[in-house]
């Protein structure tokens, strides 16, 4: 039996107090809080702050770490934060359930290169699993049920010609996955950097580049705001989007600076940083990949209904 569809309806409780950012006095910068996870994916916004891309647009940027992307949705909707970073599936779920979220810029993308992505479905190199087709009836670890990682593994299963429901998904945090694979608590794990390097260092190997299996150059995550803020302060949203687009382009063009800034906000080991596979950071949202993700999520019963992608995207 399938698990109940993951829901974000509890977030509706925050809507009555939905707030916006008060405009600053003339000539004063706007104080802007952004909720995000302290992971590799958000390096561009840290670089952009360091390079002054936000400051020159009148934004005093405060970056507030969260445990997960789902935490940022209620914080943005109740006005505690003006913008947030979250994966596309979480935002599609929110939009499908009527929550007033609005994407404002791209966040992070797959490299689009099979066998050379920043996330992969991985197994022991000396284990019995030789292909994705061998995962039927096996335990595969994902960080969250019925979200982007599980959807990616389901895409790989479909591509391999097996029923995704034949896989037993188990929930583990990314840091728990390498030891779980090593001691047999999971037959396969989907990990992103830096945990991909950890698994490789422990004798693991990539079975599939599952993000690539969803769609070419997959848009994995985006920055978003509330519809209320977008309506009441479009100038701030425009300036934030422009600063983000410059930050994304800069990060994509300066991988060495991305690696250099990671120790300032992550706990990634310095020994791993040179080997990390970096994601892509295009400034344009890949709409086709968002539509492909939405279609697959409906098919796999992760999305309860068809989202309005025009309403979600800028």
pLDDT digits over 286-309, tens only? 999 999 999 999 999 999 888 999
Q: Which residue is it, tokens 């600063």?
A: 243
Q: Mark the ranges of the chain whose per-residue pLDDT is less than 70.
A: 1-26, 69
Residue in the block written with tokens 């001691």: 183
What are the residues whose beta carbons fall under 8 Å from the beta carbon of 56, sequence distance 6 or more?
none
Q: Which CATH superfamily is domain 9-110+218-312 in?
A: Periplasmic binding protein-like II (3.40.190.10)
- CB-based contacts of 77: which residues, under 8 Å, 6+ apart? 11, 14, 15, 18, 99, 100, 101, 226
Reading the block at residue 53, the tokens are: 């891309």
For residues 309 and 88, what is the distance between their CA atoms, to the nearest angstrom? Answer: 11
The tokens describing 110, both together, are 């797959």
Cα–Cα separations (whole angstroms), residue 28 to 17, 55, 169, 230, 234: 26, 11, 50, 20, 17
The pairing of beta strand 119-124 with beta strand 204-208: antiparallel
Q: What is the DSSP letter of 278?
A: -
Exposed, middle or buried, 184 (CB in 10 Å: 0-12/13-18/19+)? exposed
Residue the block writes with tokens 């968002």: 290
H or E element that contains 146: none
For residue 209, which of 107, 88, 111 has the smallest C-alpha distance? 111
> Residue 17: in which H helix or E strand, if any?
none
pTM of the model as a whole: 0.92
DSSP annotation of 280 reads: B
In the chain, pLDDT over 90 holds for what percent of residues?
88
Q: What are phi and psi of 112, to 5 degrees?
A: 80, 5
User: What architecture (CATH level 2) is domain 119-214?
Assistant: 3-Layer(aba) Sandwich (3.40)
pLDDT of residue 3: 46
- State how far the Cα of 314 lies from the Cα of 312, in Å rounded to an integer: 7
Q: What is the pLDDT of residue 27?
A: 74
Domains 9-110+218-312 and 119-214 share a fold: yes
Q: Where are the domains of the chain?
A: 9-110+218-312, 119-214
Q: What is the pLDDT of residue 71?
A: 85
Q: What is the pLDDT of residue 70?
A: 76
Rg (CA), the chain: 19
DSSP state string for 67-84: SSHHHHHHHHHTTS-SEE
Predicted pLDDT of residue 23: 56
């Amino acid at each position: 039996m399938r698990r109940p569809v993951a829901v974000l309806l509890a977030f509706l409780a925050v809507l009555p107090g939905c707030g916006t950012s008060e405009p600053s006095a003339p000539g004063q910068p706007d104080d802007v809080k952004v909720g995000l996870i302290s992971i590799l994916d958000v390096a561009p916004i840290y670089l952009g702050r360091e390079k002054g891309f936000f400051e020159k647009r009148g934004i005093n940027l405060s970056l507030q770490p969260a445990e997960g992307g789902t935490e940022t949705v209620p914080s943005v909707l109740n006005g505690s934060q003006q913008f947030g970073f979250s994966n596309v599936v979480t935002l599609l779920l929110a939009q499908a359930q009527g929550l007033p979220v609005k994407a404002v810029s791209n966040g992070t993308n797959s490299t689009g290169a099979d066998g050379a992505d920043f996330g992969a479905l991985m197994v022991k190199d000396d284990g019995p699993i030789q292909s994705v087709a061998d995962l039927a009836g096996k335990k595969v670890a994902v960080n969250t049920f019925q979200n982007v990682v599980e959807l990616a593994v389901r895409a790989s299963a479909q591509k391999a010609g097996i029923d995704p429901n034949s896989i037993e998904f188990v929930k583990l945090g990314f840091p728990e996955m390498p030891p779980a694979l090593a001691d047999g608590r999971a037959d396969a794990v989907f990990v992103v950097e830096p945990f991909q390097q950890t698994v490789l260092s422990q004798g693991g190997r990539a079975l599939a580049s599952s993000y690539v299996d969803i769609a070419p150059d997959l848009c994995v995550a985006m920055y978003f705001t509330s519809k209320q803020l977008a309506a009441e302060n479009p100038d701030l949203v425009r300036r934030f989007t422009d600063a983000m687009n410059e930050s994304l382009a800069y990060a994509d063009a300066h991988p060495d600076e991305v690696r250099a800034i990671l120790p300032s906000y992550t706990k990634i080991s310095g020994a791993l940083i040179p080997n990390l596979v970096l994601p892509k950071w295009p400034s344009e949202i890949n709409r086709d990949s968002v539509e492909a993700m939405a279609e697959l999520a409906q098919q796999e019963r992760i999305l309860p209904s068809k989202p309005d992608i025009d309403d979600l995207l800028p």
